[in-house]
Structure 1
């Protein structure tokens, strides 16, 4: 009888993931780790950024541990739908096309698709991009924005796609590109550190909103995460994180 009781207790402990209590469930966050200031690696190779801080705090409130998984951003929907990641949280633009495969939280930030050129460039607006080579991050919302304005895009001599925005901006600096179309938040963060090297044009390719992306069938997590985001906005936590990275509260 004692042996049976001991076996039963052992089984209960196993089912509870240990008598001391189960470890917090992880929330695996898929991100592009070269997307400053939303998600990137610091000089010690640690993943950091605005969205990283937001996700870490949200996971804590959900009783989970945030695990950040760098992915090929152009394959983000495959990563999500195969459930290799739980959420996509890295300046993910909400679009109707993406809604077909991704469940989104309410938007938490607004963004524009800006045009960056070299400081000494003669390009002054969209019309001047005719016959020019334009760079963009592959799989990004910048591509979607350009596809919405094909009358302009068709005038480009070439549209070159890069694995990340940093590589595109480096080619712009080297003269291999005439312009780069990029998320405003990312573009201003990067070019702000390179005073005198780049110019941001007044023209842009539209306004968009950022949201967190989840599996279409993960409605329970979506509901809980949406409440946590609302709570973070209400109690000022989101504003504090925004002030840290942008010097202002730009939460929507």
Structure 2
């Protein structure tokens, strides 16, 4: 009998040790279920999806090279993480499809955080504030939103401007027509030609374009929506998102993020760690 009791005790002890081993391995099992950063590290490349016509966040300069605030920040982040940055221009209207099919590792180009987008995208913490504003020609008589009743409004398809307009139902109902464009720059060119009466777009982009291009546009004081920019990742890529987020916070702490912001905007307008 003692022999059987001893055997039973040994078996029980073995079972406890096995279960303890399983419990101890749970953190690594959790990490194994989300190897998003490890995959990027292994291939040595981070693929950033962006709209190449979205100054000053990401756009092509006179030499045809992709530059911009988000581009400079991403270059610094990937440099600190020891991986190469690949800039991948995408159709902004299909950005979430590009992300979820694995063509890119993140959407990072003045990407507005919205509740609808949160259903399909894992966002970093916000790094910049923005507003959706109306751009008209300087010589026009438009001074507020009410003046645009019955007029043609242009915006970028699939953009946060489209989301803002959808949320402003009374304003939208009074418009004569809403025209969608592939990008904001095309919309602004059509505004210059008189094809449309106004453009709804990001204030940061609008003010940069007006200043740099010295165009005869003006921004109406009345905005349609306030928002924040974030970096979008696949829903399960929490490990990668946290790695990027921690690097951004380190850049904010040591002043590098402020330095890049000052280069593009004349001052630090970022919100990381604030």
TM-score w.r.t. length of structure 1:
0.89
Unaligned runs of 5+ in 2: 1-40
> 2:167 is matched with which residue?
148
Provide runs of 4+ in structure 1 moved above 6 Å. Answer: none
Determine if contact 1:105/1:226 at 8 Å carries over to the other structure: yes
Determine if contact 1:117/1:172 at 8 Å carries over to the other structure: yes
CA distance in 1, matches of 2:198, 2:156: 12
State yes or no: 1:130 paired with 2:144.
no
State yes or no: 1:110 paired with 2:129.
yes
Q: State the secondary structure of the residue aligned to 1:106.
A: coil
| Equivalent of residue 217 in structure 1, options 236, 239, 242 | 236
State yes or no: 1:207 paired with 2:234.
no
Question: Given the superposition, is the C-alpha separation of residues 92 and 217 from structure 1 closer, same or farther in structure 2, using an over 3 Å criterion?
Answer: same
State yes or no: 1:82 paired with 2:101.
yes
CA shift for structure 1 position 64: 1.1
CA shift for structure 1 position 23: 7.8
> 2:23 is matched with which residue?
none
Q: State the secondary structure of the residue aligned to 1:227.
A: helix
CA distance in 1, matches of 2:124, 2:214: 36
Residue range with higher mean Cα deviation, 80-89 or 188-197: 188-197
Determine if contact 1:24/1:63 at 8 Å carries over to the other structure: no
Q: CA RMSD in A?
A: 1.2
State yes or no: 1:172 paired with 2:191.
yes
CA distance in 1, matches of 2:231, 2:246: 13
CA shift for structure 1 position 196: 5.8
CA shift for structure 1 position 195: 3.6
Question: Given the superposition, is the C-alpha separation of residues 222 and 133 from structure 1 closer, same or farther in structure 2, using an over 3 Å criterion?
Answer: same
Aligned residues: 231
State yes or no: 1:232 paired with 2:239.
no
> 1:12 is matched with which residue?
none
CA shift for structure 1 position 59: 1.1
CA shift for structure 1 position 72: 0.2
Deviations for 1:23-59, whole angstroms, at most 9, x for unmatched residues?
8610000000010010001111111000000111111
Question: Given the superposition, is the C-alpha separation of residues 128 and 188 from structure 1 closer, same or farther in structure 2, using an over 3 Å criterion?
Answer: same
Deviations for 1:160-191, whole angstroms, at most 9, x for unmatched residues?
01000000000001111100011011000111
Q: State the secondary structure of the residue aligned to 1:136.
A: strand
> 1:191 is matched with which residue?
210
State yes or no: 1:250 paired with 2:269.
yes
TM-score w.r.t. length of structure 2:
0.82
Determine if contact 1:24/1:65 at 8 Å carries over to the other structure: no
> 1:27 is matched with which residue?
46
Unaligned runs of 5+ in 1: 1-21
State yes or no: 1:62 paired with 2:81.
yes
